[in-house]
Structure 1
Amino acid sequence: MSQNTLSPQLLFQRAAVRGKDEAVFTGKICVLVILVATGVLLSVQSSYVVAAVGVVTLAAAYTHAVELQHQCLHHSAFRSSRMHRVIGVPLGTPMLVSYSHYRVRHLQHHRYLGTPQDTEFFGFDTRKQLTLGALAKGLFDVSRLVAVARDIAQCVPGRWQYDMGQIAPKSRKAIISEYRWFGIFIALLATACVMGEGSLVVRLWLLPFIVAMPMHFLVELPEHVLCDTSSVDVLRNTRSITGSWLTTWFTNGNNLHIEHHAAMNVPINRLRERHTDTREFGLHVQRTYFEFFTIVMREVWKNRKTADR
């Protein structure tokens, strides 16, 4: 093995956030702001075609924001741990994803991946048979919206309790405050509609939200689906996709998922340097998203008769 090639052990080594990593993430936030501004500008145009482009642009921005929020969950974006929640909460607001709730559940997912205790925040169960019906249900995760409405209703009077184990009182307090904020956010949108600005609410939030739901699902799907979910070995239970610079940027490195699970605190922008070892030792590594989705559709086709029974 040459001096420039990482050993398999390095794939699992942690790395602290450097000033350069923080600058890279800050740059991603700036790009996101530009993307949102562009989407807003296009969405309010009188031409339905231009407005539709704006809606899709905003949907992409909201999806990308959740992936940036994911990096904040792991405290791998800033050197100051406090900044992760400061930035993470607004990143998840358009998609109604609570930073603190997502963080608790997602860290449990990392801890228990490959065991029955695995509890990912987003509801699609990659351990079940992959069928067209399962994909359709995952594309529009209505159950998550119902759960968000329930959590808001419980958090407003402060009755919310975590149902996936024990959490610190500080985390519970943070979760309650974030769902209360979502209640205020929705109330503000409703007020805008009552005041005659319903068209803006639909163009700038509701339609982008609806489009972003399947978009985000397709970003998350490759992580563990059709992998060995009965194994605790990250080289077997997780997938990486080499991808392009565009897909790596848009998913914020979610395509390099083996690398992420091997060392979840490593800044996302530094995962690419570990991909050579992933390609050599990982069981599920695809070159492109097209290759991955081809595998998915073959599996769906194979399971079509079972799904019809």
Structure 2
Amino acid sequence: MDHVAFLRSLPPETRAALTRRPRARGVWHLARHLGAIVVCGGLIGAHAPGWPLLLPVQGVLIVFLFTLEHECTHRTPFASDWLCDAVGHVCGALILNPFLWFRYFHLAHHRWTNLPGDPELDSAKPQTRAQWLWHVSGLPLWGASLRLLARLALGTERPPYLPDRARPRAEREARVLLALLALALGSLAVSPLLLWVWLVPILLGQPVLRLYLLAEHGDCPRVADMFANTRTTFTTGLVRFLAWNMPYHVEHHVFPSVPFDKLPALHGLMRDHLRVTAPGYVAFSRAYLARRR
């Protein structure tokens, strides 16, 4: 059974239950995620004993807001479209990933997953161990993000997936993000606070997100069936919390309109049909590197 046949097999009442957006659970999850960032940032800002050890923790908490921004492109984590968009913009600002541009980038990724036309394929996956180290460092990402913001701000970024009607808004958003970044960097002349609670942490946390994201489609076949071109990774509750249940990635690609809180239920319905899985991110990384000897 491929993913299309699986979707057709779901009764209408099951579809309706799976796609019902959460009213409280999304807000509660957001409060806990942001609360952890505030508490960790507060301890760093107060220079609590051992505060340097909290820098990578703070970084992981912040960069994994990418998974929430990703969910907001689908308008699934909250019952309100307005809240989905507002949270998506804030997450994008914190990780320098413009939300409006990313929405169209990501929708194209879903339409052409692992096939020609998928914009994620424009950034080649690492094929050697040296390339893997460079990729996981996160340094190429930051350079690419700043160049993207500059192209959007200048009006020269015109990918096929960004429609003409959306481009002016995406360009304005990029200009706002660059202005905010300039203000943040300027504030360092007065206080190093943002350096320690934001800039250094996201540099230290990005490698963890790179490892996580590589598992979603890395080394998956380039075919149309979502049961084959996407990987679900079995992991801990903490990782699922940070990633808003996106380790259930096959489930998300098969039925993208299912909110994060119902992906475990969807997994229970399709687990016997999964073809590409990993028993954890360490195991995936080891296998990925073993194929590059």
Alignment of 1:188-203 (within 5 A): 188-195=183-190, 197=191, 199-203=192-196
Please state if 1:209 is matched with 2:202: yes
Q: 1:296 aligns with which of 245, 266, 288?
A: 288
Q: Which one of the candidate residues 196, 208, 211 is aligned to 1:218?
A: 211
Q: Is it true that 1:107 corresponds to 2:107 in the alignment?
A: yes
SS at match of 1:194: coil
Task: Name the amino acid aligned to 1:201.
Answer: L
Q: Would you say the 8 A contact 1:13–1:263 is kept in 2?
A: no
Deviation string 1:103-144 (CA, Å, 9 cap, x unpaired) is: 1101100101132111129x7534x63x21221121134443
**Aligned counterpart, 1:51:** 51
SS of equivalent residue, structure 2 residue 24: helix
CA contact (8 A) 1:160 1:176 kept: no
Change (3 A) 1:46 1:253: closer
What secondary structure, in the 3-state scheme, does the structure 1 residue paired with 2:238 have?
helix
Q: What letter is aligned with 2:103?
A: R
**Which residue in 2 is equivalent to 1:147?**
144
Change in 2 beyond 3 A, CA 1:139/1:76: same
Offset, 1:233: 0.5
Q: Aligned letter for 1:25?
A: G
Following TM superposition, by how much is the alpha carbon of 1:168 offset from its aligned partner in structure 2, in angstroms?
Answer: 4.0
Question: For the residues of structure 2 that align with 1:295 and 1:153, how far apart are their CA atoms?
Answer: 37
Calculate the TM-score normalised by the size of structure 1: 0.83
Quick one: which amino acid aligns to residue 37 of structure 1?
V
Cα distance in 2 between the residues matched to 1:289 and 1:247: 10
Tell me the distance in 1 between the aligned counterparts of 2:265 and 2:162: 36
2:24 aligns with 23
CA-CA distance at 1:260 after TM superposition: 0.3
Alignment check: 8 A CA contact 2:251 2:267 kept? yes
Instruction: Name 2:279's counterpart in structure 1.
Output: 287
What is the deviation of 1:185? Answer: 1.5
Is 1:167 the counterpart of 2:160 in the alignment? no
Question: Structure 1 154/115 Cα, relative in aligned 2: closer, same or farther at 3 Å?
Answer: closer
Contact 2:55–2:196 (CA<8 Å) still a contact in 1?
yes
Rounded to whole Å, the distance in 2 between the matches of 1:290 and 1:155 is 36
Q: Structure 1 residues 138 and 200, CA, compared in 2 at 3 Å: closer, same or farther?
A: same
- Aligned-CA RMSD value: 2.5
Residues 1:186 and 2:181 aligned together: yes
Distance 2:78 2:89 in 1: 15
What residue number does 1:68 align with? 68
Instruction: Please tell me the residue identity of whatever aligns with 2:216.
Output: E
Q: SS state of the match for residue 167, structure 1?
A: coil
Residue 83 of structure 2 is matched in structure 1 by 83
The runs of at least 4 aligned residues of structure 1 exceeding 6 Å deviation read none
Give the SS at the match of 1:120. Answer: helix
- Residue 260 of structure 1 pairs with residue 252 of structure 2: yes
| Gap change, CA 1:60 and 1:133, over 3 Å in 2 | same
Change (3 A) 1:179 1:289: same
Residue 250 of structure 1 corresponds to: 242
- Matched residue, 2:120: 120
8 Å Cα contact 2:149-2:174 kept in structure 1: yes
Structure 1 distance, partners of 2:131, 2:270, is 29
* Conserved? CA contact 1:75–1:84, under 8 Å: yes
| Superposition deviation, residue 265 in structure 1 | 1.0
C-alpha separation in 1, matches of 2:50 and 2:86? 33
| CA distance 1:90–1:241, shift in 2 (3 Å) | same
8 Å Cα contact 1:73-1:88 kept in structure 2? yes
SS of aligned partner of 1:173:
helix
Q: TM-score normalized by structure 2?
A: 0.87
